Amino acid sequence: MSATVELRIARFDPERDDAPHDETYLVPVEPMDRVLDLLTRAKELFDGSITFRRSCAHGVCGSDALLINGRNRLACKLRVEQIGRRITVAPLPGLPVIKDLVVDMEAFFGKYRSVLPYLIAPEPTEPGERRQSPAERERYDDTTKCILCAACTSSCPSFWAEPEYGSSSNCSNCSKYHLCQYCCNNNRNNSHSSNHSVIVVDDDRKGKKH
């Protein structure tokens, strides 16, 4: 492993620092490395206190969205060869920094929960399967792929202009209820999530509180 990458990482330790600062590491790189591999190697080789989130390392969990070379993206999905040998990594903008690259996602998840973008079974729960065909599923397939990484929300102009703005990911997650026959069928069978999501989002736009 002879090639190296100049990796600049935004560092902030609330117990030690008054403000964030950058630190640069010359990190050995393998041909197929992703930015997440560089972060892990920098932590192993240079400073065990470098702090970042990751779990699946395969674009599934949404925990490693970062500002990388000026764009929000997943560190585990971005190969070094796609962006070159000088890489800057910072936390997602607009969210409170807890330490180094870790941000507080509670407000983001709170907005997600506030519009109830998921099915809520009627009480008492009806027994048996709720079936849907492959064709019904395909209609809203894209809208199910959000992994709640907050990359879109934190880079959205509305997020920066309007503190009460819900979140870009909510648009994606709520849109499934407009497309999904399954949910509409469930609505007719007393599941209220779809209608409720639409009402909550609509009222939110009008400034009503729930």
The footprint of ligand FES (CB under 6 A) covers 54-57, 59-64, 74, 76
**Contact call for residue 66 and ligand SF4 (CB under 6 A):** no
147 is a site residue for ligand SF4 (CB under 6 A): yes
Angle at 203 between CA 151 and CA 92, to 5 degrees: 15
Please, which residues have CB within 8 angstroms of residue 152's CB and are 6 or more apart in sequence? 72, 168, 169, 172
Tell me which of ligand FES, ligand SF4, none is bound by residue 198, counting a contact when its beta carbon lies within the kind-specific cut-off of 5 to 8 angstroms: none
Q: For the residues of 177-205, what is the DSSP string, one character each?
A: HHH-HHHHHHHHTT--HHHHHHHHHHHHH
Q: Is 152 near ligand SF4 (CB under 6 A)?
A: yes
For ligand SF4, the binding residue among 29, 76, 146, 183 (CB under 6 A) is 146
Which residue, 41 or 193, has its beta carbon nearer to ligand FES?
41
Q: Alpha carbon of 76 to those of 12, 15, 66: distances in Å? A: 22, 28, 10
Q: How far is the CB of 201 from ligand FES (least distance, A)?
A: 26
Choose from ligand SF4, ligand FES, none: what does 154 bind? Cβ within 5-8 Å by kind: none
